[in-house]
Amino acid sequence: MLANPDLIDCADPREITVPRGGMVRLDNVQGMSLRVMRGMVWVTQDGCRDDVSLNAGESFCVARSGRTLVVACQYAPLTLVMLEPSVATAPKLGERLRRLVVRMKASQREHRPLPVRP
């Protein structure tokens, strides 16, 4: 098998620079977020039918372990992609309300007045 001169292996990069038309192979980066700083990329994940196209300023969370390919689009001379841990999302309104009710009930149990004996 011939080596692809445009393929860059990255075991655990934080900042990835991809030349025009180049490709980066990322292994086992599930849960990490790809954030495009400059340029445009096409992302495909091993075992996933859907591919993603990202422009500068957009990000994508890698949902699968295994191999992920990041391909720089032809029009940009250089593409810069940051690989970073995904940011935890804030709980939805229903979850926040449920937590509030649980805290209020716990607070009421702790602050009950003691029964007065005659």
pTM as predicted = 0.61
Interval 38-72: pLDDT, tens:
888 999 998 888 899 999 899 998 888 889 999 99
- CATH code, domain with 11: 2.60.120.10
Residue 117 lies in a domain: no
In a domain, 118, yes or no: no
What is the domain count for the chain? 1
Distance CA 39, CA 28 (A): 24
pLDDT at 43: 92
Q: Supply the pLDDT for residue 5.
A: 45
How confident is the model at residue 118, as a pLDDT?
67
The reply to whether 49 falls in a domain is: yes
Q: What pLDDT, in 10s, does the model give residues 76-108?
A: 777 788 888 776 656 677 777 888 888 888 777
CB–CB of 70/62 below 8 Å?
no
Q: What is the pLDDT of residue 82?
A: 84
Confidence of residue 1 (pLDDT cuts 50, 70, 90): very low
Q: What does each C-alpha distance from 18 to 4, 49, 103, 113 come to in angstroms?
A: 14, 24, 49, 67
Q: DSSP E strands: which ranges in the chain? A: 7-10, 15-19, 23-27, 32-38, 40-45, 52-55, 59-61, 67-72, 78-85
Domain of residue 103 covers 7-110
Looking at the predicted structure, is the pLDDT value of residue 12 above 50? no
